[in-house]
Amino acid sequence: MKILLSSHFFHPSVGGIEEVSRVLAHEFVALGHDVKVVTGTAEEDGTHFPFEVIRRPSPPRLLRLTAWCDVFFHNNISLRTAWPLLVMPRPWVVAHHTWIARMDGSVGWRDRWKQFAARKAGNISVSRAMSDHISAPTTIIGNPYRDALFRADPNAARDCELVFLGRLVWDKGVDILLHALGRLGQHGLRPRLTVVGAGPEEGNLRRLSAKLGMEAQVEFAGVKTGPELVALLNRHRLIIVPSRWQEPFGLVALEGIACGCVPVVARCGGLPDAVGRCGVTFEHEDVEDLTRVIGELLDPGLDLSPFRSAAGEHLARHSARAVALQYLQVLEEKARP
């Protein structure tokens, strides 16, 4: 099958959609399909892929690529690359990874067009919350994680308590986590927190940590990737995802689970789907509830093994190959005459 994959952002740009697009394209090729990726990311870093990457194609070339494919797959809907389907209809599948709305939650004319256009496509949603958001029938398929990289080390000494992994922006709610740690300290519990990532809120978070008297308790570790990140996650017991934003899925929770961490996530968006039975949720944006959950999970008498025992089955559903096969089933059904 000839698959034209549209990913507005792609390598070397860094983010969830970029990673999922790369994983799926690799798996589609490994399973014997012909794949070409079109993207708005112009930058290159010399990385070789087993598929062609066409960066910012001209309108004539995009038309030729559309004519070439058996199915046009949008990994997130993009009107910039969907327009050829108006003059050259092809089987069309859209995977929805984020809300069709503006950053403030309002709905603009582009968003209305996307919701309308999605009714003409085969649709995939990454979580139940995302499926409820789309005004068309969808198949729910959770995101894949890099199962060849993120793995638990049975010999790792889990000598650290808490880790946060993500961009340091207001939406990610790291300040909520810091306030929860401050409340734990009032009860004599002072777990160490490693903050992994960078972003515009780092200065504010450092100042808040100092204001709460937790400078020795909180380490800002900066950006970590690859094996270094995996080794760091394997040192921690709990991974905390305190997002204010309604995360459509929550790939970072899967990565933590794969490295043996028990996730604690906000009860919002797709985060409960990402965690399954492998972790615990807390009330969205509720410092008191997060304080309670962390305190309970850090109790030396609490056995965390049931959470880790559930990880094998949960992760198997989110392996790169398992997710790619589910996607291919949707693509093949849509492409079938």
- Hey, which residues does 54 pair with through a beta bridge? 38
- Please state, as a whole number, how many other Cβ atoms lie within 10 Å of the Cβ of residue 326: 17
pLDDT band, residue 104 (cuts 50/70/90): low
Break the chain into its structural domains and give their ranges.
2-144+319-335, 160-317
Nearby residues of 103 by Cβ (< 8 Å), 6 or more positions away: none
Least confident span in 12-16, 62-66, 157-161, 166-170: 12-16
Asked if domains 2-144+319-335 and 160-317 share a fold, the reply is: yes
Q: What would the mean pLDDT of 61-70 be, rounded to a whole number?
A: 97
Please check the confidence at residue 103 and state whether its pLDDT lies above 70.
Answer: no
Architecture category of domain 2-144+319-335 in CATH: 3-Layer(aba) Sandwich (3.40)
pLDDT in tens, 152-176: 999 999 999 999 999 999 999 999 9
Query: CB–CB of 38/81 below 8 Å?
Result: yes
Q: What does pTM read for this prediction?
A: 0.88
Query: Which pLDDT value is given to residue 101?
Result: 76
Q: What would the mean pLDDT of 197-209 be, rounded to a whole number?
A: 97
Cα distance between residue 76 and residue 70, in whole Å: 19
Please check the confidence at residue 105 and state whether its pLDDT lies above 80.
Answer: no
Going by CATH, does the domain composed of 160-317 fall within 3.40.50.2000? Answer: yes
Closest CA to 146 of 19, 18, 312, 301: 19
Element of type H or E holding 122 = strand 122-125
